[in-house]
Structure 1
Amino acid sequence: MFGTDDLPGLAPGLLVDDEYGWIPATRLVDGTRLPELLDAAKHRWQASPHAAAALAWKSYTYWLALPGVLGWASARRVPLLNASDVMVHFDDHRPLLTLGLRRSTTVAVLPTDPLALSGLPEVRVVADEAELLRVLRASMLDGHLAPLLDAIQDQVRLGARTLLGSLASGVAYGVLRAADVLPGRTLQNIGALLTALEVDDLIELVPGPTGELTVQRKTCCLAFTLPEPKVCSGCCIRPS
């Protein structure tokens, strides 16, 4: 979709065959390795603990959501983003972190998808499009990001609304970035995803300077608190 299979926050080709140096996301969700990720963010941006956690979450949720939401929007094929199947490393200092999927990751499809007849153990056939969105939410949010959010809140005091705003904007930005090659209607795709995740009240899609859709956030990722303050495009904080 982006003209390459080598994106800075995802493993090349998305799948991780050699897991040396990677950790399963369960080690972040259970808090075991979370302090290392937050510390990496703190040093990368010279950020306070709160801003480091907010920015680490923003980066993590964007790269985690991208395969799921684009799989759904482009082909109605959803890799289930269970924490046990997501692999992470944060030793490469170009991006803050890199995510990939185990080859055994389950992919949910509709009954009309050719994969539904493949008999592959990694393929899960669901009843309809509503169920496809439900399994995306269950794997990505309920079983992965929600407990990760709780683990982050055990480390620093950050509101759930602040963090979920970054998830909402990340989902919207992911679909907008691929709008030129995605079939269907961008607004409706984003709306369906955000509604399924129950974060549709945290952003708005508004016309940009040349009429293109842009994301207007209702919460802030705290980048404005950095030593070199940054006010992101679409931030709810307006520069003076």
Structure 2
Amino acid sequence: MDELLAAVRRAFGAGRLPGLEPGLIVHDESGWIPATALTGGDVTLLQAAARRRWDARPHVAAALMWKAYSYWLSLPAAFGWVAGRRVLHVTASQVLVRLDAPDAPVRIGVRPGTPFTEGDPLALRSVLLDHHVTPLLDAFQREIRINRRPLLGSLAAGLAHATRHAVRAVPGATTADIDILLKALDLHDLISWEDGHLRRRTCCLAFTLPEPKICTDCCYRPQPS
């Protein structure tokens, strides 16, 4: 864990990251929601938080909440791999979530003693997809009509951005790690990576907000008026 956190500090400085618990480990679970609860009926808490944060149609708010959730969830996984060739077990049983952070839609932390898998990028598929993302998206889609492909596109983009930050902070690391992790999750077809520029092949729907936002990696490009 120390190696992972040192790489995060090199990448982002010593300041607090809005979407991660300082030090990543949650020692007092008061006020935190187990991610396992969100894969069931408590997924409505995630959607309610999305509606409070964004003045948008329900499926747009949900898509934007998922974009934030998947980025902060991906960040420790990416840094653990790039910094030490270890996959942190960001399973739903190990992850804790806060939805009341004033400066981020969601904050992620992990329980003390959260394990790693050494040297196997394919472990990320089991840890991140099978034991967290897939059941959470199943719960999401039971509550709101939204296509899974753009949600997985947000996961792919979030993991790619997180890995790029990690690569910049770890001596000797290369952007090949982006392909390694995305291929381990079978998500590499959801983004393009050319000449250092990342471009999504799906959209997070931010351009549909009352005050439209065009993300730097967006596949949507409005026509000039």
Give the residue type in structure 2 aligned to 1:103: P
1:159-205 deviation line (CA, Å, top 9, x unaligned)? 11111100110011112223322244433100000000000000011
The answer to whether residue 188 in structure 2 is matched with residue 186 in structure 1 is: no
Give the distance between the partners of 2:44 and 2:218, measured in 1 at CA.
Answer: 27
Give the distance between the partners of 1:170 and 1:97, measured in 2 at CA.
Answer: 14
The answer to whether residue 221 in structure 2 is matched with residue 233 in structure 1 is: no
Give the distance between the partners of 2:47 and 2:99, measured in 1 at CA.
Answer: 10
Report the equivalent of 1:69.
78
Runs of 5+ consecutive residues of structure 1 not aligned to the other structure? 110-128, 208-212
DSSP 3-state at the match of 1:198: coil
Q: Is the 8 Å Cα contact of residues 26 and 83 (structure 1) preserved in structure 2? A: yes
Which of 38, 44, 57 does residue 28 from structure 1 map onto? 38
Q: Percent identity?
A: 48
Which of 96, 101, 105 does residue 87 from structure 1 map onto? 96
If the length of structure 1 is used for normalisation, what is the TM-score?
Answer: 0.85
1:7-51 deviation line (CA, Å, top 9, x unaligned)? 110001000000000011001112x22112111111211111111
Report the equivalent of 2:14.
4
Report the equivalent of 1:217.
200
What is the RMSD computed on CA atoms of the aligned residues? 1.3
- Bigger CA radius of gyration: 1
Report the equivalent of 1:16.
26
Give the distance between the partners of 1:53 and 1:200, measured in 2 at CA.
Answer: 23
Q: Is the 8 Å Cα contact of residues 41 and 47 (structure 1) preserved in structure 2? A: no
1:112-162 deviation line (CA, Å, top 9, x unaligned)? xxxxxxxxxxxxxxxxx3xx2122210111111011111111111211111
Q: Is the 8 Å Cα contact of residues 78 and 166 (structure 2) preserved in structure 1? A: no
Stretch of structure 1 that moved more, 3-12 or 216-225: 3-12
If the length of structure 2 is used for normalisation, what is the TM-score?
Answer: 0.90
Give the distance between the partners of 1:176 and 1:133, measured in 2 at CA.
Answer: 16
Structure having the higher helix fraction is 2
Q: Is the 8 Å Cα contact of residues 6 and 12 (structure 1) preserved in structure 2? A: yes
Report the equivalent of 1:204.
192
1:58-110 deviation line (CA, Å, top 9, x unaligned)? 1111111111111001111221111011000111221011110001211222x
Report the equivalent of 1:46.
55
DSSP 3-state at the match of 2:110: strand
Give the residue type in structure 1 aligned to 2:163: V
Q: Which runs of 4+ in 1 moved over 6 A?
A: none
How many equivalent pairs are there?
A: 213
The answer to whether residue 46 in structure 2 is matched with residue 37 in structure 1 is: yes
CA 1:29–1:184: 2 relative to 1, 3 Å: farther
The answer to whether residue 140 in structure 2 is matched with residue 152 in structure 1 is: yes
Give the residue type in structure 2 aligned to 1:145: V
Stretch of structure 1 that moved more, 42-51 or 179-188: 179-188
